[in-house]
Structure 1
């Protein structure tokens, strides 16, 4: 049997096993196992390594809670973590009947107003599942995105995505700098990324600034480049999720009728994440200068891709394989050395569960 085919079948078996787990564990930590398994597979991991890693990681996970719910109006279940199993079962059935493309085209626009769900992990799981061509895991990703749905605007409902949005007025650099103008009386030092994002979304200026980002066909690429540059220079844990989520949204782009609108909703969550990352103005300014300076980008430290892949596969870190996989994919898309530097930073920075 062809080695790559055998390895792909091994990945599919491991992802099948992920159907037994709940989406979160230990009071709000996201299950990273399916994303890590796909990342490691894409980087060249053997089937035995996937099995070994899955067995080790699964010891921390919780069994899926089977709570019967009516999913006839699944939009009404957004934001209810108890609905994860019911939503997953619904998406499995819909994909089987209508096909992956139809389900994605219908669901994605309805999920984008809450794209920060699980610190972007609903979106990220969908990106990995799509690349792995595993419909069960895609159903899980969509279900987690819906169950952990994180609306950050006053009226982020299904109808909102069809309503004309305020005219944007700021380019990415100016918009990013303005993030530091946000002020809120809520607690912004909470341990979970999503809790800090929610707190920052309560800032009085947030609704206006969130939709002020000027978008074009290159905005999502530029967001990914900015996030990669900031991460390469700071190793910031929250910013790492901006890199991997931007990659996931780029991968899902063909299933959006309006990519610019999707990018603007992504920007809403990104603005909250920028503040949740606790970046200083100097870090932001330095990164904005660096990303537009080819010599400065080229000066960022990098390790050979084969070394990064091997190290990520061997690592027990919850994020190493994910950031190396996404950064390599973005590098292959755009040829920008910032993504190579982000992958290198990912192997130098120890992370924590989230």
Structure 2
């Protein structure tokens, strides 16, 4: 469902238009969160002045760079030829913005996202993130830009073979991934999140993981619940992307056909499983421990949101916004507890 903006009609749109002048990544190969954070801050109650201040601070501190120059137009019949080539960001963004104008948002998504879903680790899930935020406002230019970003940073991982799944429990998938010998010897090129994902994917042991999870009517809720438990147990930067990613999956899924929704969830959880070495081979907490945390005294969402609005850390803002939105759907008070902890409003 699209979210209604809180500031005057054109404040967010104007900043998003300005934001599209910049590349979707900044040196060295880090995801540019600025467009998504403008939307999240707006929904958390930021004033127009705060949005402008955040925009200028983020641009300056992170040294945002312009979109790379065009190389050659992407041809519709050969659109997959340059997947994962960051030098083609301008070309892919232009192509998909044109396809959204030609076909509309949902028809473009249904035509192209099934091919892109296996590369969901693109820019450490941030191509998916920007796509989800584009859907929140049903912004054609942002959706086209986001899909282009996803295509230019497409990250190949071991493909699904259609093998029979072994569990419908996302937590069991993580536990089994933790037990894979090869993942205990993963050495990423750098500590970038997507380099960790890519290194895990290169381990022969990891190849079958994508097919382990059985997808059913309740899988989306179970992914969200397991992601929340993982983040509550670790409060870890990498597991934060499981919780926020569950929110993004929920935003994208209604725009896909049923089979593609299943693929989206399966490949998303493959990426989260690839991060278990970086998270430290975590063990999920017991139901009793989760319930104890769930009932801890915690401030209300207005106080948490107000502190997030004043933060310059994109992951504070992203986590608080996604946690608040997920609690609205799933009704779990633990979302509020972990958000308050992230914002250092409780021990």
What TM-score comes out, normalization by structure 2 length?
0.90
User: RMSD over aligned Cα, in angstroms?
Assistant: 2.1
Gaps of 5+ in 2: none
Deviates most, 307-316 or 186-195: 186-195
Q: Tell me the residue number matched to 1:352.
A: none
**CA positional deviation for 1:301:** 5.4
SS at match of 2:80: helix
2:156 paired with 1:151:
yes
Contact 2:177 2:276 in 1 (8 A): yes
Shift of 1:40: 0.2
1:187 correspondence with 2:187: yes
Q: Which residue of 1 aligns with 2:113?
A: 108
- Look up the SS of the partner of 1:205 in the other structure: helix
Q: Tell whether 2:175 aligns with 1:177.
A: yes
- In structure 2, do the counterparts of structure 1 residues 18 and 194 end up closer, same or farther at CA, with 3 Å as the change threshold? same
Secondary structure of 1:77's counterpart equals coil
Partner residue, 2:262? 260
| Aligned residues of 1:116 and 1:149 also touching (Cα < 8 A) | yes
Rounded to whole Å, the distance in 1 between the matches of 2:137 and 2:328 is: 18
Matching residue of 1:278: 280
Q: Could you tell me whether the CA contact under 8 Å between 1:231 and 1:345 is conserved in 2?
A: no
- Superposition map of 1:41-120 within 5 A: 41-59=42-60, 60-72=63-75, 73-120=78-125
Question: Cα distance 1:345–1:223, how it changes in 2: closer, same or farther (>3 A)?
Answer: farther
Distance across 2 between alignment mates of 1:339 and 1:345: 10
Contact 1:105 1:256 in 2 (8 A): yes
Q: In the alignment, does 2:312 pair up with 1:313?
A: no
TM-score, normalised to structure 1, is 0.88
Measured after TM superposition, the shift of residue 189 of structure 1 is 8.0
Please state how far the C-alpha of 1:169 moved relative to its aligned partner: 1.0
How far is the alpha carbon of 1:319 from its aligned partner? 1.2
Equivalent residues of 1:117, 1:149 under 8 A apart: yes
Note the residue ranges of structure 1 that are not aligned, 5 or more in a row.
350-354
| Alpha-carbon shift at residue 227 of structure 1 (Å) | 1.4
Residue among 163, 167, 179 paired with 2:164: 167
Distance 1:301 1:88, change over 3 A: farther
Shift of 1:53: 0.8
Is 1:210–1:268's contact at 8 Å kept on the other side of the alignment?
yes
Go from structure 1 to structure 2 and tell me whether the alpha carbon gap of 1:4 and 1:270 turns closer, same or farther (over 3 Å shift).
closer
1:128 to 127, 133, 140: 133
SS of aligned partner of 1:85: helix
User: What SS class does the counterpart of residue 167 from structure 1 fall into?
Assistant: coil
Q: Distance in 1 between matches of 2:279 and 2:189?
A: 10
Distance 1:74 1:303, change over 3 A: farther
Query: Does the Cα contact within 8 Å between 1:229 and 1:342 map onto a contact in 2?
Result: no
Looking at structure 1, the residues matched to 187 and 289 of structure 2 have their Cα atoms a distance apart, in angstroms, of 36
